[in-house]
Chain A
């Protein structure tokens, strides 16, 4: 099984 990642974990809020 695989867990859906979230973009918040890859990109920074600027």
Chain B
């Protein structure tokens, strides 16, 4: 038996909206530690890793590990039937082929119950090695979203070069109408951590990425006020949105390599 009760349906809506365009179906892995998910996009260029720790739910019950194959787009549609502040309860029997979703209004005067069919999904689990990154940049998530959008829509760029030095982080593109760059400098004061740009750097690093994936990752912006970019030479970028202390959505993106 699996049961997980989440105080606000809104969180699950935001998570699904953040990942459903990149991966349309995935296995939710349920264990005593919580709910996790890993999936690559069909071109094997990017990967989503989700963790919702059990302590983010109250209660959380998992008698045995379960793998729930879910169509994320269908689940996102179903979650739209919940109001943002509805209490979400997910339940599944062991060996069940359905996931039950229950939405309860805060005043407890409305209860919606849905049964979602599960599917068998063959998915490879990728082992992601522990990496000491050359540079870790933390910035406001809205700023990252804005930069990706402006460089894509404004210049029509396909590839973005991200260069990180002690002075700042520079995003450059060359596109159909010309070229452009946006540089963020490290902020002096850290009175408001969520609004700060902080660069932790062991050595300067420059990498090239497909901009459209970064724009897709930015759909996770509502999940967190800040985002971190972890970069090392010739290894995948990690874009992480932390959900308070109860979990994260991480996106991995393979770099473009100079011929």
Contacts and interface: CB of A to CB of B under 8 A. Distances in A.
Given A2-B159, A12-B127, A14-B126, A7 B46 contact: yes
Interface in B173-214: 208, 210
Contacts of A12: 126-127, 129
Contacts of B208: 2
Contact of B40 (A4, A7, A9): A7
A10 B127 contact: no
Contacts of A1: 258-259
A12 B236 CA distance: 13
Range class of the B interface residue count: 20 to 34
Contact of A3 (B126, B235, B236, B256): B256
Contact of B126 (A4, A5, A7): A7
Range class of the A interface residue count: 10 to 19
A6 B127 contact: no
A2 B40 CA distance: 21
A2 B126 contact: no
A4 to B, nearest CB: 5
B132 interface: no
B245 interface: no
Contacts of B256: 2-5
A11 to B, nearest CB: 4
Contact of B236 (A10, A13, A14): A10
Contacts of B43: 6
B129 A11 contact: yes
Interface of A: 1-14
14 contacts: A2-B208, A2-B257, A4-B45, A4-B256, A6-B254, A7-B44, A7-B45, A9-B254, A10-B235, A11-B47, A11-B129, A12-B127, A13-B124, A13-B125
